[in-house]
Structure 1
Amino acid sequence: MILVTGGCGFIGSHTVRALLNLGEDCVVVQRRASELPPVLDGTRVMVEQADTTDRDALLAVGRRHDITGIVHLAGSYPWPPVPDAPVEATRQALGGLLNVAEAAQEWGVRRLGIASTIGVYLGAAGDGPLREDAPLSMTAPGSIPTFKKVGEMLSGFLADTTGLDIVNYRISGTWGPLGHPDPFFAAPALIHSAARGAAPDLSHLVHPAFAEDGLDLTYVKDTGRAIALLQLADKLNYRTYNVGSGRATTNAQISQAIKNSVPDAQVDLPTGGATPHLVLDISRLKEDTGYHPEYDTERAAADYITWLRAGNDN
């Protein structure tokens, strides 16, 4: 049985669904009691209410279930990004990661997977797709990439000293059902506006959106499946894997894909913008798991719009 922290969240719920599709049983832990998300309706998922920062509550889960693997997708970083008590927020974030590692050791799990982010590459030198062995900058712009870099270093230390099989997932920009408008890319907001028949509100973006802006974007169903394959692979040759599409998707391509489903969608963006950047090399992922993305931009946009128009509100 695989335990998934954050298993009722955006990427987590799709990862659980993929694990179930591959024949695994799953238990998810969530901080607050809530209904399962729609993508898990009718499934055999077991739910435990526990916070990863509560060591005793987390370890108790392993006494009620035979946990053979852990996928740690719950946020191991301070939230909000600028907390009122930064020292305590840091203690909580790192404590949650260490509690999960302790649980993995106590339960004797086969593999512990930990979510990282494409953001760790910000500031990295070089052209072309980003490889996992690329040198990373010692600084990071913001709490999430900062704590993901720290988490990767800690997980390497813990793997060396405990013998645990710990794998880092450097996850690309991800969009799809259960997702919300993202501050770093426009695709979710464009999709939501098209489904509602309204003009998009992009005021939440960190930077203005232009048609030629691009990023490695992955549909969440592919992201979840990739993580599931990494968790279940018989043998992995590395500790760190890029999880993405392996290509840049521009806002112009997103807009055209939306218009193929909603011809009158108001999703055109002004021309200009940076050259597509932050594209992940996913060779390791493909070679060690057989993964290939199933959703191109057009199929992803059509699927997401259908989801939203079926009455789902996120």
Structure 2
Amino acid sequence: MASILVTGGAGYIGSHTVRHLLEQGHEVVVLDNLQTGHRGAVLTPHFYEGDIADAALIAEIVRKHSITAAVHFAALSLVGESMKFPTKYLEANTVKSQQFVQALVENGVRRIVFSSTAAVYGVPEVVPIPEDSPKHPINPYGLSKLFIEQYLQMMETLHGLKWIALRYFNAAGASEDGRIGEAHDPETHLIPLVLQAALGQRESLSIFGNDYDTPDGTCIRDYIHVRDLADAHALALQALADGKPSGSYNVGTGKGYSVLEIIEAARRITGREIPTVQAPRREGDPDELVAQVDKIRQDLGFTARHSDLETLISSAWNWHANHPHGYR
């Protein structure tokens, strides 16, 4: 089994991936600055609180733990905040990631799985979105991730780095046993916001726009269970270990649910009212974002097995109902 460094392993998707890799028998080392992550979500004893741009720390971790591959989650990820503070996002996500990758290469690590995003596409020309769609990010968050995908390509040319970038759509859900789940501050994701309203932590849920070109007028998104995302990272690591070529992959289900479908399912599962209020559209929200998933299925053997609407919401509800204040 391999010794793997996971940056951002105290975060939502990172912590679930760490758990999955541990279950596979790998040694997993987490590096996280705990700016948005939670120490209580880290299930490995090998934890370092620090910065991904700290080259000396990276060298120490690689040497001490004989690291052979990395999974790189650490990033800022609020689209709205990136619009207000673009330089902050390019510094944290792009510049520091470049420094991190450089430190890996200098210390002999030649395999990396990168946490990218569907935001690299911007407003898609075709739905479901294939990986070769034009990349026109409409926010600095998406741009910061696209730059790193391009940098990884360059590092492969220059230094033989092998990489896979996974472009997520909408992560959701929690672990089956309810031990780890989704806890952001501020919370911006739809399903946690819906469940906070169900718990009475919010007076109501805002529905941003009801005039989209969709069957019920609300946005449609491709939701994937965080457990399936963790599996995708493990498969990507194995593909690199097996010598498969570098590349970028969508990670989704190929099916979308509307905002109203999510709310109705949550009402049924929780047995709560979940009051809603109508709000204006948000700038830059496309009608529909759904992944084309043929490539990852064919190349990596990935299939989303836990991403039906019932599992997504019931697992998240189990977490939120038992952890109403997150990890605090």
TM above 0.5, yes or no, is: yes
Match of 1:164 in 2: 161
Cα deviations by residue, 1:29-85 (Å, 9 ceiling, x for unpaired): 0125986334x4xx4441012201222222222122110110111017899526779
> In structure 2, what is the Cα distance between the partners aligned to 1:21 and 1:239?
26
How big is the shift at 1:14? Answer: 0.9
Report the equivalent of 1:142.
139
Q: Which residue does the alignment assign to 1:66?
A: 66
Whether contact under 8 Å (2:168, 2:252) holds in the other structure is yes
Task: Indicate yes or no: 2:78 matched with 1:81.
Answer: no
Residue matched to 1:256: 264
Q: Are residues 149 and 28 of structure 1, via their aligned partners in 2, closer, same or farther at CA, if it must alter by over 3 Å?
A: same
Which residue of structure 2 aligns with residue 132 of structure 1?
131
- What are the Cα deviations for residues 252-286 of structure 1, in whole angstroms up to 9, with x where unaligned? 22123212222233256769989851111122222
Q: Which moved more, 1:172-181 or 1:220-229?
A: 172-181
Query: Residues 275 and 72 from structure 1, CA distance in 2 versus in 1: closer, same or farther, beyond 3 angstroms?
Result: closer
Q: Is this contact kept in 2: 1:111–1:165, CA < 8 A?
A: yes
- Say whether the 8 Å CA contact 1:6–1:29 is kept in structure 2: yes
Aligned amino acid, residue 191 of structure 2: A
- Is residue 250–residue 276 contact of structure 1 (8 Å, CA) maintained in 2? no
Does the 8 A contact of 1:167 with 1:239 survive in 2? yes
How many angstroms apart in 2 are the aligned matches of 1:134 and 1:84? 27
What secondary structure does 1:188 align onto?
A: helix
Q: Distance in 2 between matches of 1:232 and 1:110?
A: 13
**1:280 maps to 2:280:** no
* Structure 2 contact 93–145 (Cα < 8 Å) conserved: no
Q: State how far apart, in whole Å, the 1-side matches of 2:322 and 2:292 are.
A: 35
Please tell me the residue identity of whatever aligns with 1:298: E
SS in 2 for 1:116: strand
How has the CA–CA distance of structure 1 residues 71 and 252 changed in structure 2, closer, same or farther, with 3 Å as cutoff?
Answer: same
Which whole-Å CA distance do the structure 2 matches of 1:157 and 1:89 have between them? 21
Letter in 1 for 2:319: W
After superposition, what is the alpha-carbon deviation per residue over 1:126-168, rounded to whole angstroms, capped at 9, x for unaligned? x23111112223xx32210111111111111111111110111
Match of residue 121 from structure 2: 121
SS in 2 for 1:37: helix
Q: Distance in 1 between matches of 2:28 and 2:272?
A: 42
Q: Provide the aligned length of Structure 1 versus Structure 2.
A: 303
CA distance, structure 2, for counterparts of residue 61 and residue 144 of structure 1: 28
Q: Over the residues paired in the alignment, what is the CA RMSD in angstroms?
A: 3.1
Residues 26 and 46 in structure 1, CA contact (< 8 A), matched pair in contact too: yes
TM-score using structure 2 length: 0.81
Identify the residue that residue 308 of structure 1 maps to in structure 2: 320
For structure 2, list consecutive stretches of 5 or more residues without a partner in the other structure.
Answer: 174-180
Displacement of 1:297 in angstroms is: 0.9
**What's the CA shift for 1:209?**
6.5
Displacement, 1:250? Answer: 1.1
Q: CA deviation at 1:235?
A: 4.3
Deviates more, 1:43-52 or 1:71-80: 71-80
Preserved CA contact (<8 Å) 2:224 2:253: yes
Q: CA deviation at 1:93?
A: 4.1
Equivalent position of 1:290 in the other structure: 301
Q: Is the 8 A contact 2:110 2:160 kept in 1?
A: no
Tell me, in whole angstroms, the C-alpha distance in 2 between the residues paired with 1:270 and 1:78.
22
**Does the CA contact (< 8 Å) of 1:169 and 1:243 recur in 2?**
yes
Alpha-carbon distance in 2 for matches of 1:56, 1:83: 32
- Rounded to whole Å, the distance in 2 between the matches of 1:78 and 1:100 is 21
Moved more, 152-161 or 4-13: 152-161
Rounded to whole Å, the distance in 2 between the matches of 1:64 and 1:20 is: 18
Which digits, 9 at most, give the CA deviation of each residue in 1:226-252, with x for residues without a partner? 122212233434410111222111112
1:190 aligns with 2:198: no
Deviation at 1:197, TM superposition (A): 7.4
**Cα gap change, 1:313/1:182 in structure 2, threshold over 3 Å: closer, same or farther?**
closer
Q: Distance in 2 between matches of 1:269 and 1:208?
A: 10
Structure 1 runs not aligned, ≥5 long: none
Distance 2:235 2:183 in 1: 22
1:31 matched to 2:33:
yes
Give 1:122 shift.
1.0
